[in-house]
Chains A and B, each alone.
Chain A
Amino acid sequence: MTNLVVHDLHKRFGGLQVLKGVEFEINGAELIGLIGPNGAGKTTLTNILDGAIKPNSGTVYLNGVRIDQLAPYQVAKVGLGRTFQVTRSFRRMTVLENLYVPAMALDRGYSKARIAEKAMEILEFLTIDHLRNEYAQALSGGQQKLLELGRLLMHDPEVIILDEPFAGVHPSLMEIIYNYINRVNESGKAIILISHQMDSIFTLCKRLLVLNGGVLIADGPPDEVKRDPTVIEAYLGTDEDEDMHHDAQASQA
Chain B
Amino acid sequence: MEFPVFFWAALGWMMFWGVLGSIATRYVYLHKDLDTSSTRLLGSMMGAATGPIGLVPLWIKTPEITTRLIIFATLGTLGVFMTAFALADPGNLCVTNGSFVASQISNGVIIGIIYGFMALGLTLIFSILGVVSFAHGEFYMIGGMVTYFMTTVLFPEVTPIVGIAAACILTFMLGALFERLFLTPMYDGRVDRPVEYGILITFGLAFTLQYFVQATVGANPVKAKRFFDFPRLRLPSAEDPWLIKTSRGNMELFETISISNPRFTAAVMCILVFIALMYFLRHTWTGKALRAVSQDRQAAAIAGINPDRMNMLAFALGSMIAALAGAMLVQAFSWLPQVGAIPALRSFVIVVLGGLGSIPGAFLGGIIVGLVEAAGTGCIPDPQKAASYIPAYGMIVLTLTLLLRPTGLLGRKFASGTHGKF
A joins B in a complex:
yes
A interface vs B, CB < 8 Å?
10, 12-15, 54, 56-57, 91-92, 137
Q: Which 3 interchain pairs have the tightest Cβ spacing? A: A56-B33, A14-B37, A57-B33
CB < 8 Å neighbour of A15 from B30, B35, B192, B415: B35
* Contact present for B35 and A12 (CB under 8 Å): yes
Bound Cα distance A92, B36 (Å): 37
B192 / chain A contacts, CB cutoff of 8 Å: 91-92, 137
Contact with A along B406-422 (1 / 0, CB 8 A): 00000001010000000
**Is B68 in contact with chain A by the CB < 8 A criterion?**
no
Interface band, chain B? 10 to 19
CB < 8 Å neighbour of A57 from B31, B37, B413: B31
CB < 8 Å neighbour of A56 from B30, B413, B415: B30
B34 / chain A contacts, CB cutoff of 8 Å: 56
B37 / chain A contacts, CB cutoff of 8 Å: 14
B interface vs A, CB < 8 Å?
30-31, 33-37, 192, 413, 415
Bound Cα distance A10, B30 (Å): 10
Q: For the complex formed, measure the closest distance between the CB of B238 and the CB atoms of chain A, giving whole angstroms.
A: 59
Q: For the complex formed, measure the closest distance between the CB of A107 and the CB atoms of chain B, giving whole angstroms.
A: 28
A12 / chain B contacts, CB cutoff of 8 Å: 33, 35
Q: For the complex formed, measure the closest distance between the CB of B78 and the CB atoms of chain A, giving whole angstroms.
A: 27
Interface of B is mostly: loop
Bound Cα distance A14, B29 (Å): 12
**19 residue pairs from A and B, CB less than 8 Å apart:** A10-B33, A12-B33, A12-B35, A13-B415, A14-B35, A14-B37, A14-B413, A15-B35, A54-B30, A56-B30, A56-B31, A56-B33, A56-B34, A56-B36, A57-B31, A57-B33, A91-B192, A92-B192, A137-B192
Q: For the complex formed, measure the closest distance between the CB of A250 and the CB atoms of chain B, giving whole angstroms.
A: 15
B36 / chain A contacts, CB cutoff of 8 Å: 56
For A17, the closest partner residue in chain B by CB is B33
Bound Cα distance A216, B203 (Å): 51
A15 / chain B contacts, CB cutoff of 8 Å: 35
Bound Cα distance A54, B27 (Å): 11
Q: For the complex formed, measure the closest distance between the CB of B30 and the CB atoms of chain A, giving whole angstroms.
A: 6
Q: For the complex formed, measure the closest distance between the CB of A151 and the CB atoms of chain B, giving whole angstroms.
A: 20
For A20, the closest partner residue in chain B by CB is B33
For A10, the closest partner residue in chain B by CB is B33
A13 / chain B contacts, CB cutoff of 8 Å: 415
Task: Contacts A12-B35, A57-B33 known; list 8 others, CB within 8 Å.
Answer: A10-B33, A12-B33, A14-B37, A54-B30, A56-B30, A56-B31, A57-B31, A92-B192
A56 / chain B contacts, CB cutoff of 8 Å: 30-31, 33-34, 36
B35 / chain A contacts, CB cutoff of 8 Å: 12, 14-15
A91 / chain B contacts, CB cutoff of 8 Å: 192
Bound Cα distance A13, B31 (Å): 14
For B38, the closest partner residue in chain A by CB is A14
Q: For the complex formed, measure the closest distance between the CB of B19 and the CB atoms of chain A, giving whole angstroms.
A: 20
Q: For the complex formed, measure the closest distance between the CB of B309 and the CB atoms of chain A, giving whole angstroms.
A: 25
Bound Cα distance A127, B413 (Å): 41
A92 / chain B contacts, CB cutoff of 8 Å: 192
